[in-house]
Structures are given as C-alpha cells and as structure tokens.
Amino acid sequence: MDVMNSCCCCLRCAPDRDLTTPYTHLGKTETFSDLLKECFNIHLVLDGSGPCGICSACVGRLRDASDFKLQVQRSQAELQALLVKTEIVVKSEQADDGVEEETVFKLFYEEPIENSEVGQEDTKQFIDPLVKSEMDDVMSDGDYSAAG
C-alpha cells in the first residue's frame, strides 16, 4: 500500500474518514484531529497537499483513548472533591476535639468555684477517681496551691 494514501495514524490501512471533518458519534460532534490534540497533544501537519485520513481501527482506538482520558479526569475530580470534604471533616473534628479537651481540662484541673451552696469537698466527689488520685498526689507534693 502507498504510504501517502494510507491512514495517518498507522500507515497500514486505507483511511475511512478525514481527520479534519466533524463527525457525529453517539450524539456528540468529534473531529479526529482535535481528539488527537486533546488526548495526546499531537498536532498534525495538515498542509493540504494530500488526503489526511484515519482508518476505522484507529478511530476506535482514538475514541477509546478519549473516553479513558475523560474517565480518569472525572475520577480525579471526584477523588479531589472527596479529599477536600474529608479534610474539612477532619479539621472540623480536630476543632471540636480541641474545644472538648479544653472543656475537660477546665472541669478537672482548674480550681473549683466555691459558692455558698457547693464547697470544694462537694465538688471533688464528681471528679473521676483517677483524676482525683492524680490531683491528690499533686496536692500532697505541695505543688498545688488553693490560693492560686
């Protein structure tokens, strides 16, 4: 077969379609030279001196490549959106945890507020026994001062 009159993509078969003519396939307009540019960044030299066509086998492979590229782009966009959502949730949970830890710290480690109804001894009964034990150890070491 004459190479000058063969498919521009494989040089083995006679071309079935022109690379620059828009065709409709499954409701979409496609131009094979544009698909080559979009999928592979291949810019064909179309000097107009001769026919520049593509065979049906190469058309099928090009469509598969284009579909695959679109699939990967959609998947990556979906993954990126999920990662952003996950990052927001994690940051939100970390912020929530920080507030919770601060509240727990205030409940167990700050000096109890005394008023006429609840004295310091009454307040200690609500503290976790392990924390109370640790607080008692600290107070017995003389490092804790009720005066502040």
pLDDT score at 59: 97
Of 65, 18, 7, 64, residue with least CA distance to 39: 65
Task: State whether 22 and 64 are in the same domain.
Answer: yes
Task: State whether 82 and 128 are in the same domain.
Answer: no
Q: Is residue 32 in some structural domain?
A: yes
3-class DSSP state of 35? helix
pLDDT score at 60: 96
Contact 62, 54 (CB under 8 A): yes
Count how many domains the chain has.
2
pLDDT score at 124: 45
Structural domain boundaries enclosing 135? 110-140
Task: State whether 88 and 117 are in the same domain.
Answer: no
pLDDT score at 84: 81
Q: Is residue 133 in some structural domain?
A: yes
Give the C-alpha separation, 75 to 73, whole Å.
Answer: 5
pLDDT score at 106: 52
Cβ count near 30 (within 10 Å)? 17
Task: State whether 102 and 119 are in the same domain.
Answer: no
Task: State whether 122 and 57 are in the same domain.
Answer: no
pLDDT score at 102: 53
Task: State whether 8 and 53 are in the same domain.
Answer: yes
Task: State whether 125 and 64 are in the same domain.
Answer: no
Q: Is residue 148 in some structural domain?
A: no
Cβ count near 55 (within 10 Å)? 20
Task: State whether 135 and 81 are in the same domain.
Answer: no
pTM score: 0.55
Contact 62, 16 (CB under 8 A): no
Mean pLDDT per 10-residue segment, the chain (148 residues): 85 92 94 94 77 92 96 94 77 59 50 50 49 54 50
Task: State whether 77 and 33 are in the same domain.
Answer: yes
pLDDT score at 3: 80
